[in-house]
Homo-oligomer: A and B are copies of this chain.
Amino acid sequence: MKFYDCAAAPSPRLVRMFIAEKGLNNAIETVEVDLRAKEQMEDNFRAINPFLTVPTLETDDGARFLTSQGCWRYLEDTHPDPALLGHDATEKALVADAIWRTEQDGFLAVGEALRNTAKGMKDRALTGPHNHAQIAELGERGKRRVMHFFDLIESTMSKQPYMAGETFSAADIMAFVTVEFAGWLKLTLPETSTNAQRWFDAVKARPSAAV
């Protein structure tokens, strides 16, 4: 198995942490794709992933998964222990809900805020093969949405220990990476969000958070 990664970027980190939680660090070959040098735009990577994004996972049979969701799904099904996408039908669905919510309202909101405001991302307001101009209002909306998402973490953690319930899951990986990614915008968990902070510190202490 081959994992196309970029050490500095948040999206592949979602899979890197997942791999570490599964204890697969040494079982998977990592190929670094330097997004700052725009290596994902070059023809050889375009042939691997036409959407020009990492993470990308390649199996020994040559199948390729081009999104975090695809990479997670494959790793979960081929290496089920420890489960990161839920144990029984109800928990699996609650994890799917929490991942979707965290991605839409958190992870993608940070990306929206960053890509629509950063000078270095002019015309790259979305990832992928098509250029899109920045929209200043969208950058501002993204920042407001990130703060709403922080409130959601706080209210969630006031009721349960993890994003999807009683058990650590991929939704916690995504929420954790989202909070760290928001730091690029100088947005941090509010000081009053003591439940969210306790959860964040607990995830930060896991060995997978250091990879």
Contacts and interface: CB of A to CB of B under 8 A. Distances in A.
B67 A100 contact: yes
Interface residues of A, number: 41
A89 B77 contact: yes
A69 interface: yes
Number of identical monomers bound together in the oligomeric complex: 2
Interface in A106-141: 126, 128, 130, 132-133, 135, 137-138, 141
Interface of A: 51, 59, 61, 63, 65-74, 77-78, 88-90, 92-97, 99-101, 105, 126, 128, 130, 132-133, 135, 137-138, 141, 144-145, 148
Given A130-B148, A148-B130, A96 B70 contact: yes
Given A132-B141, A138-B138, A90 B63 contact: yes
